[in-house]
């Protein structure tokens, strides 16, 4: 009897535990589904499977990224909120695609507009906050946010997302280098953000391998098409970068098109007989042999104008056209020297420097800057025809998105990084010959080495490489082009 009671008691306890586990499972499902009637038996009817998979991405990597961004705070938190709006706009488009047939290109462009506009919002925030202490975070997001445009990138949306992710790596590596062993939260932020795009690539590979998947039933999507189920949270989502120029909508049915093509091929197959219906043009009817015809009035027929791709309205930024020219700056802000928007300034000098200070030179043209003393690092960003002369740098000199710049080291510098730059001359001193020069996506780079006579010998930095598989790994060597 006691054994029977004990077995019944254990059964009751087990049932309580089982009920608790079921309740927790239901709560998790409700969180993912974000609304009634969207899970269980009605999941395939209410929300498509690939929309539910996207919701899982929002509830996983995206939620983690938003959480850590709030902990970091400041500009990073504001930027994350903008990114979230963009992702929710993309979810709305996915819901529309799951319930509608694919529309014509011009209607699809209208559906993409919210995403494109939000991408612009995210990128403009970076441009308006170049003085931010977390500028590398803003840049990493700004460079990769066009990945939301994968919905318009057929037939290879996955590789497009990877390309955009790679664009962010330059800045995320700088964050890791700056905060490694200093602030673990910043490292976690990088991992959380990059995981969004990694998971998105896997998601695309599974559900949208060759492009956005549309429903084969239901009405054709239009500009005003809206999904009956609202997105989990947040405002309208941001669409990706500008879509390809819309093609003209067909004016006839597919049957008429087939008939036209058949008639065209029938005409071509006539061979030489195809010219039998042409009228002979005599010399007096040719303008180059009868000048009098050129003087006659009347309309002149011309062939169709060559196609010009329309500029997407979502890329236009009216404020940039009407906004006044940015003021020139040369000032110390905290520990950062800001040299910005200088034009035709040949005597710029920074002399009162300290070891903890950094210099950020942005959008300077036809100018010369001299930095005296020893500082931590120097960054040249978006400069053109700029000359930089400095004494000593204990960290790194970075040249980004620039053209025709010349950099001269008077003392020592351990590393010079050249990225996305066309035309760069680096003059090394005798004390800086052990400097490491790292380059990527750049051209026309030359390093000048001092000689005993006081002159410089110029050496080009290789730009072309050969990669082969040796049976175990890829081996890359410099390719020398024979002149």
pLDDT of residue 213: 93
Distance CA 99, CA 71 (A): 38
- What is the longest distance spanned by two Cα atoms in the chain? 125
Identify the band that residue 182 occupies on the pLDDT scale cut at 50, 70 and 90: confident
Q: Which residue has the higher pLDDT, 360 or 246?
A: 360
Task: Please write the tens of the pLDDT for every residue from 111-129.
Answer: 999 999 999 999 999 989 9
How much is the pLDDT for 231? 44
d(CA 425, CA 429): 13
Give the residue, 21 or 402, on which the prediction is more confident: 402
Q: What does the pLDDT average to over 77-95?
A: 94
What mean pLDDT is predicted for residues 266-274?
54
Is pLDDT at 225 greater than 70 in this prediction?
no
Cα dihedral value 213, 217, 221, 225, nearest 10 = -110
Using alpha carbons, select from 53, 44, 48 the residue that is nearest to residue 203.
Answer: 53
Question: Is residue 147 packed enough to be buried (19+ CB in 10 Å), middle (13-18) or exposed (0-12)?
Answer: buried
Task: Report pLDDT for 217.
Answer: 86
**Pick the residue with more confidence: 216 or 239?**
216
Under the banding of pLDDT at 50, 70 and 90, the label for residue 293 is low
The confidence score (pLDDT) of residue 195 equals: 94
Contacts of 159 (CB under 8 A, 6+ apart): none
pLDDT at residue 144, rounded to an integer: 93
DSSP codes of every residue in 301-329: --PPPPP-PPPPGGG--HHHHHSPPPPPE
Strand partners, 406: 387, 425
Which residue blocks in 180-248 are alpha helix, DSSP H? 184-207
pLDDT for res 343:
93
CA distance 467 to 224: 51
Integer Cα distance of 75 and 69 in angstroms: 9
Residue 165 pLDDT > 50, yes or no? yes
pLDDT of residue 454: 83
Pairing of strands 436-440, 415-419: parallel
Q: Give the per-residue pLDDT at 463.
A: 87
Residue where the block lists tokens 């008077």: 410
pLDDT digits (tens, 9 = 90+) for 306-335: 444 444 444 445 444 555 778 899 999 888
Q: In what order do the strands lie in the sheet with 377-381?
A: 329-333, 336-340, 358-362, 377-381, 396-400, 415-419, 436-440
- Find out whether 360 and 382 touch, Cβ atoms under 8 Å: no
Q: Sorting pLDDT into bands at 50, 70 and 90, what band is 386?
A: very high
CA separation for the pair 171, 84 (Å, rounded) = 20
Q: What is the pLDDT of residue 288?
A: 60
Tokens 């992702």 correspond to 87
Contacts of 480 (CB under 8 A, 6+ apart): none
pLDDT band at 167 (very low <50, low <70, confident <90, very high): confident
Give yes or no for residue 471 having a pLDDT over 50: yes
Please tell me which residue, 233 or 59, carries the higher pLDDT value.
59
Say if residue 38's pLDDT is above 80: no
Nearest-angstrom CA–CA distance, 111 and 115: 8
Select the more confidently predicted residue: 12 or 67: 67
* 346 — pLDDT class (breaks 50, 70, 90): confident
């Amino acid at each position: 009897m006691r054994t029977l009671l004990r077995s019944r008691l254990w059964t009751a306890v087990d049932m309580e535990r089982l009920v608790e586990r079921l309740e927790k499972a239901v709560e998790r499902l409700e969180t993912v589904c974000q609304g009634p009637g969207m899970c269980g038996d009605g999941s395939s009817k209410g929300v498509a499977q690939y929309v539910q998979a996207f919701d899982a991405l929002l509830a996983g990597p995206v939620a983690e990224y938003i959480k850590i961004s709030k902990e970091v705070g400041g500009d990073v938190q504001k930027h994350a909120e903008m990114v979230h709006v963009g992702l929710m706009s993309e979810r709305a488009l996915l819901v529309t695609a799951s319930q509608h047939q694919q529309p014509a290109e011009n209607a699809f462009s209208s559906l993409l507009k919210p995403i494109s506009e939000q991408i612009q919002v995210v990128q403009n925030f970076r441009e308006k906050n170049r003085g931010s202490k977390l500028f590398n975070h803003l840049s990493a997001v700004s460079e990769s946010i066009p990945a939301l445009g994968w919905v318009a990138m057929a037939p290879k949306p996955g590789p497009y997302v990877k390309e955009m992710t790679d664009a962010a790596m330059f800045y995320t590596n700088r964050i890791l280098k700056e905060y490694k062993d200093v602030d673990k939260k910043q490292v976690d932020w990088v991992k959380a953000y990059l995981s969004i795009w990694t998971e998105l690539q896997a998601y695309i590979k599974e559900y949208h391998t060759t492009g956005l998947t549309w429903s084969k039933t239901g009405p054709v999507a239009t500009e005003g098409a809206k999904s009956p189920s609202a997105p989990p949270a947040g405002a309208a989502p941001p669409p990706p970068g500008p879509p390809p120029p819309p093609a003209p909508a067909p004016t006839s049915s597919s049957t008429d098109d087939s008939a036209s093509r058949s008639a065209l091929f029938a005409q071509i197959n006539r061979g030489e007989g195809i010219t039998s219906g042409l009228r002979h043009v005599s010399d007096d009817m040719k303008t180059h042999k009868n000048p009098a015809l050129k003087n006659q009035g009347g309309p002149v027929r011309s062939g169709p104008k060559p196609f010009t791709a329309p500029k997407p309205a979502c890329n236009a930024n009216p404020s940039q056209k009407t906004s006044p020219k940015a003021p020139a700056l040369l000032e110390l802000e905290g520990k950062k020297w800001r040299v910005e928007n200088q034009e035709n300034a040949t005597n710029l000098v920074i002399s009162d420097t300290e070891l903890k200070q950094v210099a950020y030179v942005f959008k300077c043209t036809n100018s010369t800057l001299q930095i005296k003393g020893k500082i931590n690092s120097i960054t040249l960003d978006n400069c053109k025809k700029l000359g930089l002369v400095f004494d000593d740098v204990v960290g790194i000199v970075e040249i980004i998105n620039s053209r025709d710049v010349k950099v001269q080291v008077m003392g020592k510098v351990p590393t010079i990084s050249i990225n996305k730059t066309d035309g760069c001359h680096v003059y090394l001193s005798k004390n800086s010959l052990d400097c490491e020069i790292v380059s990527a996506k750049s051209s026309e780079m030359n390093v000048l080495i001092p000689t005993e006579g006081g002159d410089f010998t110029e050496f080009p930095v290789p730009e072309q490489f050969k990669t082969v598989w040796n049976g175990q790994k890829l081996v890359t060597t410099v390719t020398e082009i024979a002149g």
